[in-house]
Amino acid sequence: MSENKVINQTAEKTAAPAASAVTMAERDMAKVTAKQRVVKVLVQVALYTFLITMALIVLFPFYWMLISSVKSLEEYNLAIPTLFPLEFHFENYVEGFKTAQLGQLFLNTLYVGLVSTALSLVITVISAFAFARLEFKGKNALFAALLATMMIPGELFTITNYQTINNFLGLNTLGRKLGSDFLMSLGNWSNTYTVLIVPFLVSVFYIYLLKQNFMQIPNELYLAAKVDGTTDIKYLWKVMIPLAFPTIISITILKMMGAWNSYVWPRLVANDDAHKLITNGLRGADFTVDNMIHYPRQMAAVAIVSLPLFLVFLFLRKYIMKGVSRSGIKG
C-alpha cells in the first residue's frame, strides 16, 4: 500500500506542472487569438475607411455636377457654395439640351460610333483569328511589330494621321496641279465622316485581347473541323466567335465608349456643325446669358451627355470584366 501511495503522490506531483503548463498555453493562445481579432478588426476598419474616402473623392465631382445642374445662376455664383440646391431648376436641362444642340450631336456621334465599331469588329476578329490559328511566314515577327506600336504615344499618330488625311495618296496635291476639284476632294478628308471613322478602325490592343481569347480554344477543334472540310470562315463563325462572345461584347462596349469620349481628333479635323461630335460640340456651345456663362445649363448638358456612359457601365460592367479576364490566361 505504501508503495502505491508513493507512486500516486509522485504522479500527482508530475501531473501538476504539466496541467499548469497546458493551462498557461491555453491562456497564451487565447491572448494571441484575441490580439489577432483586434488586429483584424483594425485592419478592416482602416481598409473600409480608405475605400469610403476614395469613393467620396471620386463621386464628389459627379455630385457637384448634378446639384449644380439644377441651381439658379444666382445661387451658383454665391460666395459660399451650397452643397444642396435651395431651389430646383430642372428647366436647365431643357435649355442646356437646346443650347448645345445635343440632338444633332447625339445623332452624329451615334452614327460614327456604330459604323466605326462594326468595321473595327470585322477587322479585329479576322486579324485575331489569323494570328491565333493560321500559319504563315513572318506571323510572329508581324505580331511583335504590331505590339511594338502600342509603345508609341498616340500624339505621334495624331500628327501623321492629320498629314495623311489632308493629302491622301497625294491626291490633294495632284488635284491642285491639274485644277481638278474632284481629286482635291478625294485627297482632303477634313470635315467628313470618313476622317472620323477610318483612321482608328484598327486597334492593336483589341486584336491582342481577342487573339489571347481565341488561343484558349483547343486547337484540336480546328484540326477536326479542317478534316471535316470546314472552311476557315465557317469555323470562325460557327465555333470561335460564339466561344469568344464575351470578349467580343467587351470590345464592342469599349470601342463605343472610345468613340463617345473622343475629343482631340474630332476637334482637330471636324469642326463644322454637320460633323461635330458630342465632345467638341459641347465644348464649343455658347451658354452665355446676359454676358455671363450660365454654368448650371452647361452642367445640365454635361450630365445629359454623361448619362449614356453611366448606364453602359452600370448594366454592362460584368461583360467588360468577364471579357477581359477570359483573355488573360491561355488554356
| AA letter at 112 | V
Beta bridge partners of 289: 292
**CA separation (Å) from 7 to 2, 60, 130?**
9, 79, 87
| pLDDT recorded at residue 331 | 41
How confident is the model over 199-214, as pLDDT tens digits? 888 888 999 989 988 8
Res. 36: pLDDT tops 60:
yes
Say whether pTM exceeds 0.85.
no
How confident is the model over 126-137, as pLDDT tens digits? 999 999 888 888
Q: Among residues 126, 324, 133, which one has the least CA distance to residue 207?
A: 126
Architecture of the domain delimited by 98-137+192-326: Orthogonal Bundle (1.10)
- Tally Cβ neighbours within 10 Å of residue 200: 17
- DSSP state string for 40-86: HHHHHHHHHHHHHHHHHHHHHHHHHHHHHHTS-HHHHT-SS--SS-S
Q: Among residues 306, 328, 325, which one has the least CA distance to residue 317?
A: 325
**CA separation (Å) from 302 to 43, 194, 281?**
39, 26, 11
Domain residue limits, the chain = 2-69, 98-137+192-326
- For residues 301 and 132, the answer to whether their CB atoms sit within 8 Å is no
| pLDDT recorded at residue 237 | 87
